[in-house]
Amino acid sequence: MIYERIRHLREDSDLSQTHFAKFLSLSQRSLSHYENGTREIPIETLIKIADYFDCSIDYLLGRTNKKQLNQ
C-alpha cells in the first residue's frame, strides 16, 4: 500500500493510532483508513505527518526512498 510508510513510521516511534490521531486532530478510525489506503489523505494532513516525522511527502507516498528532506 502507498501509505504503509506512515504506519511504519508511527509504529517505529511507538505511537498508538489513538495518540497520533489526536495529534493530527483526527479520529483513530480516520487514521486507520489512511494507513490502510482505503481513504485518500488530505494534503493538510500529509503535511502535518511529514512535519512530525521530519520527512518529505514524496517519501510518505513512496515516490522516493530518501527519507530526509533536502537541507
What does the pLDDT look like over 40-62, one tens digit per residue?
Answer: 999 999 999 999 999 999 999 88
Predicted pLDDT at 1: 56
pLDDT at 70 over 70: no
Mean pLDDT of 20-31: 96
| Interatomic CA distance for residues 57 and 67, integer angstroms | 9
* CA–CA gap between residue 55 and residue 51 (Å, rounded): 7
What residue has cell string 510508510? 5
Domain that holds residue 15: 4-60
What distance in Å separates the CA atoms of residue 17 and residue 34, rounded to the nearest whole number?
11
Residue 4, pLDDT > 90, answer no
What is the pTM (predicted TM-score) of this model?
0.87
Please count the structural domains in the chain.
Answer: 1
The residues, ordered by sequence, that sit 6+ positions from 10 with a Cβ below 8 Å of its Cβ are 17, 20, 35
CATH number for the domain spanning 39: value is 1.10.260.40
The answer to whether residue 46 is domain-embedded is yes
Q: Is residue 68, in this structure, part of any structural domain at all?
A: no
